[in-house]
Amino acid sequence: MTAVPVRPSASVVSLALPLIALVALVGLAVTTHRFLSLDNARAILASTAFVGITAVGATLVMIAGSGVSLATSQTATVAGMFFLATQQYGLVTAVPVALVTGVALTGLQGAVIGYWHANPIVLTIAAGFAIGGTTTWFSGGTPVYPEVVAYEVLNSTPLGLPVAVYVLLGVTVLAQFTLRGTTPGRQLYLIGSNRAAARAAGLPVGRVTVIAWAFFGACIALTGVFLASFNTSATATLGGTLTLDAIAAVLVGGTAISGGRGSAVRTLAGAVLIAVISDVLLLRGFSTGIQILVKGILVLAVVVIVHLHATRSHR
Amino acid sequence: MRRRWLVQPDHLIPVVSLVVVVVAFASAPALSGRPLQPFDVYNALQGFAQLGLLALAIGITMIAGEFDLSVVGSYAVGGMLAVSAGATSPALGVLAAVAAGAAIGAVQGGLIARLRIPSMPVTLATYIALLGLAYAMSGGLSKSYPNSDATLWVDQTLAGVFSPRSLLTLAIFVIAAVVLGGTKWGRELRAIGGDRRASRVAGVTVDGLIVWLFTVSGALAALGGALLSYSYASANPDPGLQPLILAAVAALLGGVSLAGGRGAPLGLLAGTLSVALLAQIVAVTALPDFTTQLLYAALLAVIVIVESPGLRALSDRFRARRADG
Amino acid sequence: MIRVDGLARAFHGVAAVRDVSFTVGAGEIHGLCGHNGAGKSTVVKMLSGQLAPDAGRILIDDTPVELRSRQAAQRAGVALVDQELSVVPALTVLENLLLGDIDAPLVNRRRAALARCRRVLDDMGLSRIDPGQPLSALSIGDRQLVEIAKALSQRARLVILDEPTATLTDVESSLVFAAIRRAVAATGCSVIFVSHRLAEVLELCDSVTVLRDGRTVATTPAAELTVDTLIVQMLGEPPRRLAADGKPDRDLAHALRISRLRVPGRLRDLTLTANAGRIYALAGQLGSGASDVLRAVAGLHPTAAGTVELHGRPVPVRDPVAAVRRGVAFLSNDRKSEGLFLDKSLAWNLTATRLPHLVRAGVLRPRREHAAARALAELIGLPAARLGDAVAELSGGNQQKAFVGRCLGRDDVFALLMDEPTRGVDIGGRAAIHHLLRRAADAGLVVMFASTELDELLELGDVIVTMRGGRLVNRYEGDVDGALLMRDMTQRLE
């Protein structure tokens, strides 16, 4: 008998369940004390900004079929360190320095993955070690302090929202436009959908992969810049839990880890959703542990639903 | 025949790694200025015990072509459970941890096998959830373990270099080697990692095997976490990504390929010993910490470049170009 | 003894097998032959438990059996060697022999298993193979031999071999025959041997069943058959193509010149010039090298060597991106895994390779894209309403049209290479695809396709080149007899 996986309930599950969950969430949120306030809304947006910027970049990489990077935190750290170390030349220099760092380090990984089809997990683990080790070496293990404080403007809050939120929105728009409106963006989707077919059709797999990773590198650098400005000094732990947080946001946004589908806007929504849920739980008095637990379950649920939805037409 | 056995990557890589590291370890006195002591070997074996079960857990899933990112989560939750439930009876704590790890693994294995979802996102999500669970169980802080008798027993020196913990870890590796080497499960595991479709056609019960695989990896990770928390007399809710990455490095140095189909418990043993010895060398010679990181980076870079299909295609093309008429 | 009685099976309302009946006695080697679409592979799938018949019965030793799965078939004593290898390169030869064997014990008994493996290999004439070797160290031919040895050693009552010698050399094929004979003599099992190598079939088999259009034509003892009578049984009235196409050779400067093209293990020194405006058909069965010619020109064989020139400019033979840039458009025979982006829309698939043309000031213009997609859809005969549908939801024929559509209407494509243009496509779709290919040729492209379908070769090919064993056998223009082509494709090499 041909093994045809029959899942008659798949399409029902993929529509009904998220809808029910969303309704439940909205109900829960509006009945939570202090949820419906401007301050709270601002807090939610602010907490998504740092991770969100990186997550949008990570979306491009995942769409391209390259999966995930495990070197994100270390890259953000080193970009932040370079940012602080060049403060005396002003923001005009310091920010591009950080960006170039991020783009160069990450773009190089993208090249090895795109042209030689190297395994992204192992490669980014290796890169993480290399970047982390070199950073500790050069910084001598001591925190990096800026000589001059030129980054204050980055910590300001025009219209009550941190600058990072505006940058997040800008990056999202740029990423979305690249994905939907440019040739490399379209090619990203195709390569992620079927790399062999893309190659047989003569699409520039290597070049497009590098573009995706370079964009990702720029996003990581931006997050590093904001983290450094926020913390006013940079140690080896500046990147924190960025690696996993970014991946979680991308997955909750509905991007498939196998590639070929997803969008920057959805990742933004995913990041916001995570923040909203954590916020509701916090306001209702649940511990950090429960918030993280729920986040994990959320990621699992979305991953399963996205997979069922994507494979329903494949027989 | 022996030469051919050695040339296979899943034998060559762990042997070379271990030999290089052992030689480096033996020559560490040259850098540190003092001779090696049994205590150094003991420390190295303790490091091995800390990482071993994690590496075995993630290693066997990699052999089958999967990737269990949740092992660190089971590690943390296992430690928490053991500390909570094992205050009076350490054995009970261990049992609780192993049962929980097995249950978590079984659920994941079920999802991956039945729904044919790739293992990475599922185990990543589970890892996050387990992290949260560990946090919730301990209120975000380390949970201390009151049973000091157990703590001392677990790490006591045996024969100068071993401890019950490292011996237990070694024993489990040996059991795994015997089970996988001596039964059909070993080749079936490598088969489903090497060519899933062909294995199914050949009659291997792939789905059942996958469920068992993740159950075992969850149980092993939880056991490792339980033993570690007894040793530290406290359970850490957030060990971070580092243990996962080190376990993956140990597996790769042990000859396992991320593509699957290759590797064995003894290789994983060698890989884990290599990682543990490396860490100890750095400690003994008082080399700065970042040397280990750069060393790992170099080792992994070599592995990834040598394994990448693109490089193989490049060498094929090069050979073909010479044949161009 | 195996008896098949009135088997029938349809897919989506289209009958693949209508009424097939034959008997295979114990200890008999039974050949199963038929042209493409005759229903051979469907019958094999039903006998091996992969498909359930819509009608008819299968009887093993006079007991009707229902084979619901591969495992069930195995338990009923049916072993299958499929065209696609089901041995795992990562495992050793010994491990592969044991893999999935329902009789294999849980605890390995190495010495017994090794002895048995040695015996099985020796019976196959593979004494030179060491059971401890990883399978990946063996050539493809040897791997196939190991798989066949595995099937023969499974103490089965019926062993089905589906095109087992397609990719083997003649020496390897004779090893297979000797092993089959030995296994039959030793165990009294029945063997069904499906093959298009008619001379081999007659040499090995005791009797041959021929299928045509899903029905049994005849079951005849091999001694009473010749290759020619077999061909007549397979084709009925052998199709002929009358008269040349009458088209003069087009401008030679636009030709595709292939010179000493070779791929180790698959293709030997092929030299061929294909002119623009004509359709060249490479006629060859699986393993003949026809498909490899196209892939090598498209740059998809990393070990290919030789010279290729298109429109006077050289085409690098190991670089798919460069081949595309030089105007080669290649459509693989596996549109699902190497051709189409199944989860993407028809519009996306059609415009996949012409994106740079739809861009203005760096931005993809939606209106241009829609216009291009609509124009292409019209060109290939698909309604614009379906442009938003995921290609996975289209029928096989429409998928193939989408595949072709990608290459049409472009001024930077000079050669269209297509491997199995109408695989998995119904009659109506076939006509449409052929029409598209003809239009492409009329528009001045070099069109070359590889196929095993006699009708298609005769209908479409202005020049037919037959291939066998990696070599060019003959070249036909003008009047050509289908039976002659068949002979070329199935004959034994000297």
Q: Is the pLDDT of residue C250 over 70?
A: no
Q: Is the pLDDT of residue C243 over 70?
A: no
Residue entry with tokens 């590639």? A259
Q: What is the per-residue DSSP string for B146-162?
A: --HHHHHHHH--BTTTB
Q: Given B131, B248, B297, which is nearest A292 (Cβ)? A: B131
Q: Read off the pLDDT of residues B77-130 as tens digits, 9 standing for 90 and up.
A: 999 999 999 888 889 999 999 999 999 999 999 999 999 888 888 998 999 999
Rounded to a whole number, what is the largest CA-CA distance in chain A?
73
Q: Do B101 and B221 touch, CB atoms closer than 8 A? A: yes
Write down the pLDDT at residue A6: 44
Q: List the single residue in C with minimal CA-CA distance to B314.
A: C302
Q: Tokens representing A60?
A: 């491009």
Contact C74 B320 (CB under 8 A): no
Contact B184 C102 (CB under 8 A): no
Total number of domains constituting chain B: 1
Q: Tokens representing C372?
A: 């291009």
Q: What phi and psi, each to the nearest 5 degrees, are found at residue B175?
A: -60, -45
Q: Do C437 and C460 touch, CB atoms closer than 8 A? A: yes
Contact A183 C359 (CB under 8 A): yes
Does residue B222 sit within a domain? yes
Between CA C485 and CA C474 the distance in angstroms is: 9
Write down the pLDDT at residue C249: 55
Q: What phi and psi, each to the nearest 5 degrees, are found at residue A96?
A: -60, -35
Q: Is A4 on the interface with C (CB under 8 A)?
A: no
Selected for mutation to probe chain C from A189, A193, A314 (highest C CB count within 10 Å) is A193
Does residue B277 sit within a domain? yes
Between CA C338 and CA B284 the distance in angstroms is: 54
User: To the nearest whole number, what is the mean pLDDT of chain C?
Assistant: 86
Mean pLDDT value of segment A235-257: 90
- Residues C9, C144, C73, CA angle at the centre, nearest 5°? 40
Instruction: Classify A112 as helix, strand or coil.
Output: helix
Q: Is B310 on the interface with A (CB under 8 A)?
A: yes
- Pick from C31, C33, C28, C69: which is nearest to C48 by CA? C69
Contact A308 B307 (CB under 8 A): no
**B206: buried, middle or exposed (CB in 10 Å: 19+, 13-18, 0-12)?**
middle
Between CA B50 and CA B272 the distance in angstroms is: 10
Q: Do C335 and C327 touch, CB atoms closer than 8 A? A: no
Does residue B164 sit within a domain? yes
Selected for mutation to probe chain B from C82, C88, C154 (highest B CB count within 10 Å) is C88
Helical spans, DSSP H, in chain A:
10-30, 38-63, 72-85, 91-116, 120-139, 152-155, 163-181, 183-193, 195-200, 205-231, 242-252, 264-283, 288-311
CB-hemisphere CA count at 13 Å for B320?
A: 25
Helix (H) or strand (E) holding C275: none
Q: Is C356 on the interface with A (CB under 8 A)?
A: yes
Q: Do C392 and C406 touch, CB atoms closer than 8 A? A: no
- The alpha carbon of residue C127 is apart from the nearest alpha carbon of chain B, in Å, by 16
* pLDDT cut 70: percent of chain B above it: 97
Write down the pLDDT at residue B324: 58
Q: Is the pLDDT of residue A13 over 60?
A: no
For residue B132, list chain A residues with Cβ-Cβ distance below 8 A. Answer: 289-296
For residue C305, list chain B residues with Cβ-Cβ distance below 8 A. Answer: 320-321, 323-325
* pLDDT cut 70: percent of chain A above it: 94
Pairing outcome for strands C279-283 and C305-310: unpaired
Q: Read off the pLDDT of residues A40-79 as tens digits, 9 standing for 90 and up.
A: 888 888 889 999 999 999 999 999 999 899 999 999 999 9
Q: Do A226 and A164 touch, CB atoms closer than 8 A? A: yes
Q: Is B111 on the interface with A (CB under 8 A)?
A: yes
For residue C93, list chain B residues with Cβ-Cβ distance below 8 A. Answer: none
Residue entry with tokens 């068992």? B212
Q: What's the predicted TM-score (pTM) here?
A: 0.86
For residue A197, list chain C residues with Cβ-Cβ distance below 8 A. Answer: 337-341
Q: Is C95 on the interface with B (CB under 8 A)?
A: yes
DSSP class of residue C134 equals B
Q: Chain-centre distance of CA C87, in angstroms?
A: 19
Write down the pLDDT at residue C290: 92
Q: Is A270 on the interface with C (CB under 8 A)?
A: no
What domains can be seen in chain A, in order of their start residue? 40-308 (1.10.3470)
Q: Is the pLDDT of residue A217 over 60?
A: yes
- Pick from C109, C97, C84: which is nearest to C163 by CA? C84
pLDDT tier at C242 (50, 70, 90 boundaries)?
low
Q: Do B224 and B80 touch, CB atoms closer than 8 A? A: no
- Residues spanned by the domain of B224: 6-316
Picking from A297-306, C9-18, C232-241, which range would have the lowest pLDDT averaged per residue? C232-241
Q: Is B178 on the interface with C (CB under 8 A)?
A: no
Mean pLDDT value of segment C3-8: 91
Between CA C385 and CA C383 the distance in angstroms is: 5
Higher pLDDT, B213 or B197: B213
pLDDT tier at A1 (50, 70, 90 boundaries)?
very low
Predicted-complex ipTM score: 0.84
A72-85 and A120-139 are packed helices; what angle lies between their axes, rounded to 10 degrees?
Answer: 30
Picking from B295-309, C32-46, C281-295, C301-315, which range would have the lowest pLDDT averaged per residue? B295-309
Does residue B323 sit within a domain? no
What CATH number should be reported for the domain holding residue B14?
1.10.3470
DSSP class of residue C358 equals G
Q: Given C70, C105, C302, which is nearest B320 (Cβ)? A: C302
Q: Is the pLDDT of residue B42 over 70?
A: yes
For residue A118, list chain B residues with Cβ-Cβ distance below 8 A. Answer: 304-305, 307-308, 310
Helical spans, DSSP H, in C206-319:
227-235, 290-297
Mean pLDDT value of segment A260-282: 91
Picking from A9-18, A49-58, C257-266, C387-396, which range would have the lowest pLDDT averaged per residue? A9-18
For residue C133, list chain B residues with Cβ-Cβ distance below 8 A. Answer: 4
Q: Do A52 and A169 touch, CB atoms closer than 8 A? A: no
What domains can be seen in chain C, in order of their start residue? 2-235 (3.40.50.300), 243-490 (3.40.50.300)
Q: Is B307 on the interface with A (CB under 8 A)?
A: yes
Q: Tokens representing C223?
A: 């001694």
Q: Tokens representing B133?
A: 């669970």
Residue A161 pairs in a beta bridge with none
Picking from A2-6, A259-263, B44-48, B298-302, which range would have the lowest pLDDT averaged per residue? A2-6
Dihedral sign (CA C473, C477, C480, C486): positive
Q: Given C85, C87, C106, which is nearest B184 (Cβ)? A: C106
Q: List the single residue in B with minimal CA-CA distance to A286.
A: B136
Helical spans, DSSP H, in chain B:
2-7, 9-26, 28-32, 38-63, 71-85, 90-115, 119-138, 148-155, 164-182, 184-194, 196-202, 206-232, 242-253, 265-284, 290-307, 309-323
- The alpha carbon of residue B192 is apart from the nearest alpha carbon of chain C, in Å, by 9
Q: Do C91 and C189 touch, CB atoms closer than 8 A? A: no
Kindly list the partner chains of chain A, i.e. chains with 3 or more CB atom pairs below 8 Å.
B, C
Q: Given A123, A133, A297, which is nearest B129 (Cβ)? A: A297
Chain B segment 187-216 residues within 8 A of C by beta carbon are 187-188, 190-191, 193-195, 197-199, 201-204
Write down the pLDDT at residue A7: 44
Q: What distances in angstroms separate CA A198 from CA A307, A310, C236, one per listed residue?
A: 22, 20, 42
Does residue B322 sit within a domain? no
Does residue B256 sit within a domain? yes
For residue B121, list chain A residues with Cβ-Cβ distance below 8 A. Answer: 251, 257, 299, 303
